[in-house]
Amino acid sequence: MQPNKSTQPNKSVQSSKSIQAAPVDSKYQQADENNLSASDNSILDNSTARMPMLKPALSLFIALALILGLCYPLLMTGVAQVTMADKANGSLVEHNGGLVGSALIGQRFDQPGYLWTRPSAAGDGYDAAQSSGSNLGPLNPELVTAVEAQVQRLKAADPQNTAPIPLDLVTMSGSGLDPHISPAAAEWQVNRVARIRGISAEQVQTAIDEHTEARQFNLFGEPRVNVLAVNLALDEMAVVN
């Protein structure tokens, strides 16, 4: 008689098969399906909710781009060209049919027969593409050196002039492009210009007075002399003489 074989392994196999084959509880399966369905519905609801907001946002963007980016600049340009064409185009100065500069941007004048402008730290001097001041503090030795060099330059050009030199003739403006000097700075140069040009000091002073601008609305700023305008007037005077 053959010995009885143990049936324990068969039971364990059957047990594992029964565990694997055990159906998932329908309640949990139904809950998972409901959660997935709810998630999909929320995504669709969010997309649906965004669509009505997208159209007015795009419409507003296009409208503002056209109004502020195209219509408004064109309108302002047209108004400026009609009401103040000279200023809108850069206050350009023409002389004898040629463009000689702008009334708003200074130029370097270093010939003794002309009024000199202030020193400039804009590039190599009065470079409109590199507007800048010297950025030197009052205790910086470079500032002292620059001022002393300018003082010596002015005295060398007019050694007979012993009057105190106005401050703006030896210091740089904040922009480096200032087209003006003070009336005192212009008057300091009158005798030199008159002597070099062979005209009277009164004639030079008259040209300065005619191109001296008053305070803005008689309230703001200080009186100032446009150097380019005076020098052009001096040239015209020489042609007449």
Instruction: Please give the pLDDT value at position 46.
Output: 62
End-to-end CA distance of the chain: 153
Residue type, 1: M
Instruction: Please give the pLDDT value at position 178.
Output: 92
Domains of the chain, by residue range, sit at: 29-89, 91-240
Instruction: Please give the pLDDT value at position 87.
Output: 87
Give per-residue pLDDT as tens, 6-26.
Answer: 444 444 444 444 445 445 456
Residue type, 76: M
Q: Which residue has the tokens 């590039």?
A: 123
Instruction: Classify 177 as helix, strand or coil.
Output: coil
Q: pTM surpassing 0.85? A: no
Instruction: Classify 197 as helix, strand or coil.
Output: helix
What is the distance of C-alpha 167 from the center of its chain?
Answer: 28
Q: Which residue has the tokens 């005076």?
A: 230
| Residue 165, phi then psi, degrees to nearest 5 | -80, 125
Instruction: Please give the pLDDT value at position 49.
Output: 62
Instruction: Please give the pLDDT value at position 13.
Output: 43
Question: Maximum CA pair distance of the chain?
Answer: 153
| Residue 64, phi then psi, degrees to nearest 5 | -65, -35
pLDDT over 70, % of the chain: 77
Instruction: Please give the pLDDT value at position 50.
Output: 66
